[in-house]
Amino acid sequence: MILERRQTWPAVAIMGVGILSLAITLKAAQADMPIPAPWVMGALAGLYVVLALLAEGFRWQSLLVLAAMLAAHAFMALLMGWGYAAVEGHPRTFVPALQHGLWEYLPGTALQFGFACLMGIVLDAWLEPVPLTEGEACEPEAAPRAAPAALLDLPDAAGLAAMLEAAVSLPGVAAALAAAETVQSAGVWARDPEAAWQRVRALITAGGTGLHSVPLQDASLLTRSEEGRAAALLVTAALDQPTEHDLLRQLWAAAEREWGPTA
């Protein structure tokens, strides 16, 4: 968004060069066309005041927009005045050139008004707060770390099933599983433990035994397996990596106490 705003100024400059070239080209083929009455310039100034108030309301920014439009009009009039003098073959100094550009050629004055309005529109957009796009939106506050205190508070005698239920009660843990001779699970895997174990075992087979973390879109699967035994957690971004691994370690320890030593 900031880059898009910066690109408006080169566009305004290019537009100004085009307007200046058009006015000088028209003047080269025509005689002077003075503004019929001095009050026309006053009317243009009044229009600038109205436009600035419509753009910014009764705030200090409206004065800035008004000043920018008046300055843009005067600057373009000066350049046009010098351009008119060049094609006419009558060089003019600063003040005569400004006067000549302001009110002695009506089409040029109209083009000056259009350029000044363009300057006001661009400046008004710059004075507005930058709206955040989805890609630029501020990151939400990090969810508080889900410490595994709920598991630590459970006595060893609570058993593996209680440890699994305690794990899925933590924010960010969607499912937990422990498998040896039998399969126990909790969370979303509790509906069909055998099917969940088949999917987890396929990933373990592909990755090998040991500790693994597999990204799954907005979640991740943590597994630990040794000698045909396995423990797995399905977690989301609500948990950070150290907490995930600590949780899996505690679940594995609880599972080993229930399974007993390997043969």
Sheet holding 173-179, edge to edge: 183-187, 173-179, 229-236, 219-226, 210-216
- Strand, coil or helix: 160: helix
- pTM for the model stands at 0.48
Q: What's the mean pLDDT in 7-23?
A: 88
Residue 31 token pair: 């005689």
Predicted confidence at residue 129, as pLDDT, reads 61
* Domain definitions of the chain by residue range: 2-127, 149-259
Helices (H), the chain: 2-6, 8-28, 39-56, 60-88, 94-103, 106-127, 149-152, 159-168, 193-207, 241-259
Q: What is the pLDDT of residues 221-234, one digit of tens each?
A: 888 888 888 888 88
| pLDDT tens per residue, range 108-166 | 999 999 999 989 888 888 877 655 444 444 544 544 444 444 444 555 556 788 888 88
pLDDT of 136 reads: 44
CA-to-CA dists, residue 76 to 64, 167, 173, angstroms? 18, 72, 65
Cα distance between residue 187 and residue 194, in whole Å: 14
Close Cβ partners of 245 (under 8 Å, ≥ 6 residues apart):
211, 222
- Distance from C-alpha of 190 to C-alpha of 236, rounded to nearest angstrom: 18
Phi, psi dihedrals of residue 29, rounded to the nearest 5°: -100, 0
As a whole number, the mean pLDDT across the chain is 81
Its CATH architecture, for the domain 149-259, is 2-Layer Sandwich (3.30)
Give yes or no for a contact between 23 and 108, defined as CB atoms under 8 angstroms apart.
yes
Binned at pLDDT 50, 70 and 90, residue 238 comes out as low
Q: For residue 152, what are the contacts with CB-CB under 8 A and spacing of at least 6? A: 250
C-alpha to C-alpha distance for 11 and 2, rounded to whole angstroms: 15
Neighbours of 62 (CB within 10 A): 20
